Structure 1
């Protein structure tokens, strides 16, 4: 193992890489990790020196607050490699800002930009061989922050650990996705933490999603907690609906995550000349549009899946199949977005950032 310094980051390299043990053609999403990780502790009211070191388990006290009071946030990002072997990020400033917004909501310290961004850049440069060229090949980036302070008193922790881990990835979802519209369970509520990317949001949806899985559905389209009449998110993704030739998606709120892919698709749709409306969408609208044939597409949008087309939905025990359309807005937008991320077409938005 060798130790160096870069941008005030201590770097401890592995003696031997494990990359040759990985089958990059057969990757299960989020199950294989690169040689190194970044770690930075918050102690005594200050951020310590960031360290890049070999990926490995670490010890926590059983009374660490993350285990008892759920102070844990994360982000999802991707790195891409172009044909000239340059590494690119997609709108990393959006992820950085949202990460710290989540930290504020969960009473956690904000991570400094030099720790988050500089640390990420150094980590990506060190593990650059794990980023494979070619459309569809990406490196998934998972920054997270957990409470490590000891003691089971119900107060915010005083100590925290920030980490970034990396995982080579291909497609997140495959095959047809059928969804169940929620009538009882809710993902989030007004005044709650639905807009924060915190671990508990995801844990809370596992049970109702498992019930949907038993009925043959892969995901749930969540509805508002008060009336269950407004369509909000699909699984862990934002969701879009195409009725005739207009795209609809719900506005962000305390209940809906401000997705980076979502806002990018909205801007792209406008530039492509597609009609798009950001407003509450009612379940009754969706059902009626399906019945009269005007519902053309539903698709989820998020970092991991990019765009995930939905084949049909169920509501009150009735299943509604979506038509196969030749001019799919989902596919048009996905192709342009992924080509831009992989630098196969020009980025006219200034969204892609080169790692240097």
Structure 2
């Protein structure tokens, strides 16, 4: 990876040096563009559109198949679903960053997927509007720990959590947490089972996951939460403690029994809050997907955006059409009853939306 002493450490784990280096060793071939000079530089990992393999990063997904992949350049890491453009102590204006990316794209459309609202609003102000691509879930870790977390939930949600906890107890499931370590092969088998539950066509061998876990274990702050039943590991959740946040990354559950399936909620939410409290984390980043289940367990949902940059008027119309179509047909939309999503990033920053 290109290292620049003037760059500030990443706030997001998924843009950190360690994470980007791990991705490079796991089949993600980023190039790096350094835009600007000295302490006002921005570092952007970029990938040719046709080389992108991750499903929700493919141009066809991001733009609802309106533009061919080989006419696109992606800017940002291709895993983690939170895209931070690393900078120095200062940051060049979004318009300057856009011009630098467009120059490197050589006539192609530049896609910046999964941007947080503040970053996307900067591009909007420079004339590059974005559209919602996903809902990012965050869970506060109260100072008093799990009991306070439970007490803060609305009554109906609190009773649902108590029901989850009773079922876990009846099933005889216990939990413990530790730094991520061997046996990686056993954990990998659980991760593969979970992947196949949601994607019956998933065919990656467990050995690939085991290799990946070994690399994850080399990153600072890597922990695993284990679920056990009768002494056997029936679930795992890999997380990273970074910049005061516990970043939820991988979860695997033994899907062979209804009793063991129930440990999912303990792994994803309740034991993660407890571990975050023990480690001194103030927040858990739960990421995208299963938004309704996360919201019912106390998570706050924030929009992530795709911003598209193009100098081609004809292509620009197709790109904006694709962004809009995708934003209206997300794999994981807002839960029923939620407020309508913001139309543009700047709308999400208005005080009345956060009140």
**Could you tell me the TM-score, scaled by structure 2's length?**
0.26
Higher relative contact order, structure no. (Cα contacts within 8 Å, ≥ 6 residues apart): 2
Query: Which has a greater percent of strand?
Result: 1
Query: Which has a greater percent of helix?
Result: 2
